[in-house]
Amino acid sequence: MYRIGFDVGGTFTDFTALETGTGKAIHFKTSSTPHDPSEAIETGLRHYVEELGVAPEAFEFVGHGTTVATNMVIERRGVPTGLITTKGARDVLEIGRQTRPHLYDYAITKPEPLVERYMALEVTERLNADGDVLEPLNEGELRAAAETLRDAGAEAVAICFLHAYRDGRHERRAAEIVCEVLPNAYVSISSEVLPEFREFERFSTTVINAYVGPRMDRYLERFLQRLADIGIESAPRTIHSNGGLMSVDAVRSFPVRTCLSGPAAGVVGAAKVAGVSGYPNIVTYDVGGTSTDVSLVEEGRPAFTTSRLVADYPVRCPMLDINVIGAGGGSIAALDDAGALKVGPRSAGAYPGPVAYGQGGTEPTTTDANLVLGRLASDTLLSGRMQVDTEAARAAIENKIAKPLGLSVEEAALGILRIAVANMGRAIRAVSTEKGHRLQDFALFAYGGAGPLHAAAVAVETGMKTVIVPAQPGTMCARGILLSDVGFDFVRTGVSTASPDRWPEIGTAFREMLEQGNAWLENEGVPEDRRAMLYVVDARYDGQNHEVQVALDGPEAGYDTFLDGFRAAHRQEYGYDIEDRAVEIVNLRLSVKGASAASAETGYSAQEGDPVIGSRQVYFDGGWYETSLYERARLPVGPYVEGPAIVQEMSSTTIVEPGQRLRVDASGTMIIEV
């Protein structure tokens, strides 16, 4: 039997299949198909079935990572969406936080709301902050609003009433009426999507959920049909932004929770693989064709956040704290208006791709620069299955970068890489140094197709001393899906002052949420012996506007334990605490998990044969070096490989720079000492 995971990226779709009896991994990559991501998924699955002879019924687990929802928001390809809200709250999305995206640059503007104003309608109803009804829902106005949206061509409707996070009765009734008037519309209500206070974030998240819902549903239908056509009967699970897995039905209800689907899988897998190698503190560094994703893992636990921007729209839901920048193998190098060299965030993507791919690309990219400098070769990508034209890459860099700047082609190519590395270094500092962590205490865990290619230079840029490169790093996100747990997050808002007298109410609320969590796990088919719960309190000092998160052992945790944990978390986040200031509890969170059946521990034995498979000239800072080429699968455990060196495998290429050295540990993971 096999467990298979696949991650749909902007350039490649990655696959990892694990044979459950032996733990043997089979990796595969194919070009993504942005017009229909499920097409690339079918291509990869048919490779396993038709070329490798895996029977369709042998797939006992199918895991799926996707960027479909994110791309729809970025490209504004959702459906016409309406908003029904409380009278007086029509312009919440337009007003936002009344802040400008950039303080001094007036050319940078806020994105247009996903709901046009004529489709944002008000009805009479009102709850107070305790959830008590001040004005009942006017069902006549609600029905008239639904008819107006129907006539305007709305395919999705978001229902967001004031204080619905305390009681969703009005929203639920409104949804029933909307479904009567628009039986084919996709309806999202904020009390289910995000039952938290702060109207702007709640409205924005619910609207995005509705905006992408219909197209996500159609994508899932095509995806499921392709699985059925192949003969795969196992029900797929999709990874969502907090690193957990959920069923297709859950994705249909909450597509907004998949906005960091693929990157989250990589972080989960990286944390587990690094733990096996004895590195609990890492910065994950995932470089694909379009973006670089970085995140911090401390003591084996990934960092979480509750909000982020997706294409400049606020999304609030529990998710891994991943910083994403536009820097990858397809990042375009160009001269700006002042004649200075700039790399990214524009990307050549899968099509047309870098110039060297020969698919119509004309603008040089970081991949083209690596080819020109000898760090990649024509037989490197996908073990030679993808042919590249190095001379075309050289000509593009010469004509568009080198000549205008008066540089040699090599200097221009190295400049492209230096700028890309500097951009990546800033992203890493944003999740570490800027949050009070010493980078010297962390190892850089490099994966993605281009991560190991740049990791050694990024480690030097950031002052990190160790680089970790897992087996088949280009498919790490797909492998991470196999290592991820089934999971979901529940939240309850109730702003109150923390005190010993009121603390028992917190335990009672957590026990009620635990009933919800167990019911959800039961529905997902998770047995009791594989369930785990994480209890978190969002709290702040009286007078503050934002919270820190405090983890608790369970509903029975004491008040003093909470208070000590809050002060420690506040010191970590802000550098101080205020012992005589009252503390407010804002949200209670419960994260439920169903443990994965897969293990990150794998045995490793080198294949027979000389690991040195040749050498070539490679350009590093200072000139050309004769550099040995190694086949990763033949590298034995223990002995050091001295840099400069290049280690090749199907999904990625690892660079060891002059003065660095590399070893392979017992699990087959490569460790580079900088």
Final residue in a domain of this structure, among 415, 435, 461: 415
Q: Say whether both 358 and 305 belong to one domain.
A: no
Residue 200 in this model has a pLDDT that exceeds 90: yes
Residue 89 in this model has a pLDDT that exceeds 90: yes
Q: Is the peptide bond preceding residue 255 cis, with omega within 30 degrees of 0?
A: no
Q: What is the pLDDT of residue 182?
A: 97
Q: Say whether both 469 and 494 belong to one domain.
A: no
Three-class SS state of 525: coil
Q: Say whether both 431 and 308 belong to one domain.
A: yes
The span from the CA of 489 to the CA of 510, in Å, is 13
* The model's pTM: 0.84
Final residue in a domain of this structure, among 177, 212, 247: 212
For residue 542, give the CATH number of its domain. Answer: 3.30.1490
The span from the CA of 124 to the CA of 137, in Å, is 6
Q: State the sign of the Cα–Cα–Cα–Cα dihedral 359, 362, 367, 370.
A: positive
Mean pLDDT of all residues belonging to the chain: 91
Are the C-beta atoms of residues 466 and 279 closer than 8 Å to each other?
A: yes
Q: State the sign of the Cα–Cα–Cα–Cα dihedral 316, 317, 323, 327.
A: negative
Q: What is the pLDDT of residue 386?
A: 62
Residue 155 in this model has a pLDDT that exceeds 90: yes
Paired strand residues for 271? none
Q: Say whether both 309 and 335 belong to one domain.
A: no
Residue in the block written with tokens 């050309």: 624
For residue 249, give the CATH number of its domain. Answer: 3.30.420.40
User: How many beta carbons lie within 10 A of that of residue 142, not counting itself?
Assistant: 24
Q: Say whether both 233 and 266 belong to one domain.
A: no
Asked, for residue 609, whether it belongs to a domain, the answer is: no
Q: Which two tokens stand for residue 129?
A: 């902050």
Q: Say whether both 281 and 429 belong to one domain.
A: yes
Residue 480 in this model has a pLDDT that exceeds 70: yes
Three-class SS state of 460: helix
Asked, for residue 241, whether it belongs to a domain, the answer is: yes
> What residues contact residue 173 under an 8 Å CB cut-off, 6+ apart?
137, 139
Q: What is the pLDDT of residue 524?
A: 82
Q: Say whether both 186 and 113 belong to one domain.
A: yes
Asked, for residue 127, whether it belongs to a domain, the answer is: yes
Q: Which residues form the domain of 226?
A: 2-72+217-258
Asked, for residue 203, whether it belongs to a domain, the answer is: yes
Q: What is the pLDDT of residue 426?
A: 93
Asked, for residue 661, whether it belongs to a domain, the answer is: no
For residue 149, give the CATH number of its domain. Answer: 3.40.50
Q: Say whether both 280 and 303 belong to one domain.
A: yes
Are the C-beta atoms of residues 199 and 89 closer than 8 Å to each other?
A: yes
Asked, for residue 17, whether it belongs to a domain, the answer is: yes
Q: Which tens digit of pLDDT belongs to each residue from 373-391?
A: 999 987 655 555 567 889 9
Residue in the block written with tokens 């001269």: 335
Residue in the block written with tokens 């312009």: 91
Number of domains forming the structure of the chain: 5
One-letter-per-residue 3-state SS of 257-283: HHCCHHHHHHHHHHHHHHHHCCCCCEE
Are the C-beta atoms of residues 188 and 213 closer than 8 Å to each other?
A: yes
**Strand-pair category, 341-347 with 443-447:** unpaired
Asked, for residue 660, whether it belongs to a domain, the answer is: no
Q: Say whether both 558 and 590 belong to one domain.
A: yes
- More confidently predicted of 466 and 11: 466
Phi, psi for 366 (deg, rounded to 5): -65, -35
Q: Say whether both 318 and 457 belong to one domain.
A: yes
Q: Which tens digit of pLDDT belongs to each residue from 630-663?
A: 999 999 998 999 999 999 988 889 999 999 999 9
Final residue in a domain of this structure, among 379, 397, 415: 415
Q: Interior CA angle at 234 toward 231 and 238, to 5°?
A: 120
Q: Say whether both 196 and 252 belong to one domain.
A: no
Asked, for residue 508, whether it belongs to a domain, the answer is: yes
Q: What is the pLDDT of residue 510?
A: 94
Phi, psi for 35 (deg, rounded to 5): -65, -30
- Nearest CA to 178 among 213, 205, 145, 202? 145
Q: Say whether both 293 and 425 belong to one domain.
A: yes
Highest mean pLDDT among 200-209, 258-267, 542-551: 200-209
Q: What is the pLDDT of residue 382?
A: 52
